[in-house]
Structure 1
Amino acid sequence: MQEVPVHTLRDGRSIPALGFGVWQIEPDATERAVAAAISSGYRSFDTAEAYFNEEKVGNALRRSGLRREEYFLTTKVWNTNHGYSTTLAAFDASMRRLGVEQLDLYLLHWPSRVRGLYVETWQALIRLQQEGRVRSIGVSNFSVPQLSRLISETGIIPAVNQVELHPRFQQRELRSFHQRFQIATQSWSPLGMWKNGRPSILNPTIQAIAREHGKTPAQVVLRWHLQEGLIPLTRSVNGKHIAENFDVFDFELSQEDMRSMRSLDDPAGRLGPNPDTAEF
């Protein structure tokens, strides 16, 4: 079994370079999917209060035989629990469902600009980290203006920003900001398969690169993320695909391959909600 490389976060903590996410996986299927991911070699698992499967993720991890220090666990506070005291209570509830005493990474799931409480919510995450209940804190789906406000008003820079990112939507401006402030970029929907969007793996350029390397298009896309310094979160309930998506450490894309992949970027390639305009 291959060992996953790690990234060192700005707070000095380490995070695996490849993770397994459980968004849109039904609770009844979650334990099986996480168990299959563990068997394939994944050691980083991403869930959220709003996914309604935290308990199942916790069950799978406990039954796996892994020691707590052998895996990296992330969850997120949902928009309806924004605010200082409500976030602290939501965190306690998530921890009960997960069945752990310390979390590796806690994220503010969306800025929820219509509520206007994300700075206050971030201050609650800061407290949780100071108390040692969370090792690292970060955000998800934050734009440059939202990150700038968070940093300027609290002085605390998120360790991670988890955002939609795939070959058709490469978020270069946001990633430049991340690099400036040493914020790690996690990619959700790394294959560009959000809802009814046309997945990146159907792109002829990607399929040609896959044939050249004897790999699947999904493996090529995930390898692109890794070589770009991104942290992709894969998701599947199919055991074969779960294993294939982990098998991305035994080949390397050439500079020409990388240029071809970068050329697929499209400013209109976003498939999910825009954090600057979303009304939730």
Structure 2
Amino acid sequence: MIKWLISLMMACSQTLALSACNPEDSPKKTENIVPELKPESNPVPSPEPTSDNGMFDLSEGENGNPPTLLLSSGYEMPIIGLGTYSLHDDVCVNAILAAVKLGYRKFDTASYYGNEEEVGKAIRTCGVLREELFVCTKLYPNQFADAEKAIEESLCKLNIGYVDLMLLHHPGAHDVEAYKAMERAVKNGKIRSIGVSNYYIKEMTDFLPKVNIKPTLVQNEIHPYYQEKEVVKFMHENGIAIEGWYPLGGRGYTAAMLGNETIGQIAKAHGKSPAQIILRWDLQNGIVIIPGSSNPDHQRENISLFDFELSSEEMAQIAALDRNEKHDWY
């Protein structure tokens, strides 16, 4: 009987040992490669939002200190930045220096804007460590045919060591080849994250199977009159962050949008400006924002969005303003 018990115990021990060594239980290495695109599948896991369907935790933010979003590349990006489209020369430099003092750490430029040198100068002289700042630039379609040269030109003009995020400005001939040039720059440490701008569901569906690194972010026109609800849902489900340009309506349309009666009523109820209501609406929808301004008072407003929250009813009221009204051709 004793021998039988000993034999049984030894058999159990061997079974447990084999189970512990099973390769299926070992951690598996994963890479940032493009998965099979499944728009109708379950969403890619993302941080739990505090309200609505955002991809980030707004409770972590403070006025002047927005929270960050973990991109699929593994790098953190602030969810509020300063757009620099119309800023040039000393106006651009001074706008960035003022924004840094107010807590901005993310700045958006592009080769097409013609101000990469000014942005780089401000980044180098602002008094904040380079590693604490996040700079995005973009390649324009007329650069796609020789993207490696264009990447080097942007790096030279910025002169800040590396680019945190580089995007294709919008679809165009040779966009896949240009994106692959950016992939090589990632491998060489010149760029940390890459993505695209002005790509929608069809464009992204066609694009993803052709590249190796999934875009970390797509930057599109988004505002209350052009909300892209299905595009936002699609990008979130596929683990791609979405950022809105023209968040306040864009050139020639901002005043009318800020004067919208529904937005004005919500602003009055919270004791906030209409711009703050719109920008908070973006954040609660999981949309990163890059409003542009050289006015320090407006900059302060635009980064002070964390001492109030829009109710579900207020979010629905703004959602009802969608007109599918695009304000630029991209």
Tell me the equivalent position of 1:137: 194
Tell me the equivalent position of 1:96: 156
Out of 67, 79, 102, which is 1:40 matched to? 102
Report the Cα offset of residue 143 of structure 1: 1.9
Report the Cα offset of residue 2 of structure 1: 3.4
CA contact (8 A) 1:105 1:135 kept: yes
Runs of 4+ in 1 over 6 A off after TM superposition: none
Tell me the equivalent position of 1:190: 247
Match of 1:182, SS state, is coil
Match of 1:187, SS state, is strand
- For structure 1, which runs of at least 5 residues remain unmatched after alignment? 275-280
CA contact (8 A) 1:101 1:133 kept: yes
Report the Cα offset of residue 156 of structure 1: 2.9
Report the Cα offset of residue 21 of structure 1: 0.7
Tell me the equivalent position of 1:278: none
Tell me the equivalent position of 1:148: 205
What per-residue deviation string (whole Å, max 9, x for no partner) do you get for residues 180-203 of structure 1? Answer: 211100000101123456642111
Distance 2:299 2:133 in 1: 17
Distance 1:75 1:131 in 2: 17
Tell me the equivalent position of 2:274: 217
Tell me the equivalent position of 1:8: 70
Out of 53, 61, 65, which is 2:123 matched to? 61
What per-residue deviation string (whole Å, max 9, x for no partner) do you get for residues 143-174 of structure 1? Answer: 22221122112243210000000011111121
Distance 1:76 1:27 in 2: 19
CA contact (8 A) 2:65 2:303 kept: no
Match of 1:185, SS state, is strand
CA contact (8 A) 1:157 1:181 kept: no
Query: What code does the residue aligned with 1:55 have?
Result: E
What per-residue deviation string (whole Å, max 9, x for no partner) do you get for residues 73-128 of structure 1? Answer: 10011111012xx111111111111111111100101112xxx2111111111111
When the two structures are superposed, what TM-score results if normalisation uses the length of structure 2?
0.78
Tell me the equivalent position of 1:109: 169
2:236 corresponds to 1:176: no
2:312 corresponds to 1:272: no
Out of 137, 146, 166, which is 2:223 matched to? 166
Query: What code does the residue aligned with 2:97 have?
Result: A
Query: What code does the residue aligned with 2:157 have?
Result: R
Match of 1:56, SS state, is helix
Q: List aligned pairs for 1:245-264, cutoff 5 A.
A: 245-264=302-321
Match of 2:290, SS state, is strand
Mark the CA change 1:65 to 1:197 in structure 2 (over 3 Å): closer, same or farther: closer
Tell me the equivalent position of 1:277: none
Mark the CA change 1:239 to 1:3 in structure 2 (over 3 Å): closer, same or farther: closer
CA contact (8 A) 2:88 2:118 kept: no
Mark the CA change 1:228 to 1:196 in structure 2 (over 3 Å): closer, same or farther: closer
Distance 1:5 1:223 in 2: 13
Query: What code does the residue aligned with 1:181 have?
Result: N
When the two structures are superposed, what TM-score results if normalisation uses the length of structure 1?
0.92
Distance 2:95 2:265 in 1: 30
CA contact (8 A) 1:191 1:199 kept: no
CA contact (8 A) 1:166 1:200 kept: no
CA contact (8 A) 1:27 1:52 kept: no
Distance 1:56 1:7 in 2: 26
Q: List aligned pairs for 1:199-218, cutoff 5 A.
A: 199-218=256-275
What per-residue deviation string (whole Å, max 9, x for no partner) do you get for residues 45-92 of structure 1? Answer: 000001111111111111111101111010011111012xx1111111
- For structure 2, which runs of at least 5 residues remain unmatched after alignment? 1-62
Distance 1:143 1:193 in 2: 19
CA contact (8 A) 1:193 1:200 kept: no
Match of 1:234, SS state, is coil
**Paired-residue identity, %:** 37
Tell me the equivalent position of 2:294: 237
CA contact (8 A) 1:4 1:18 kept: yes
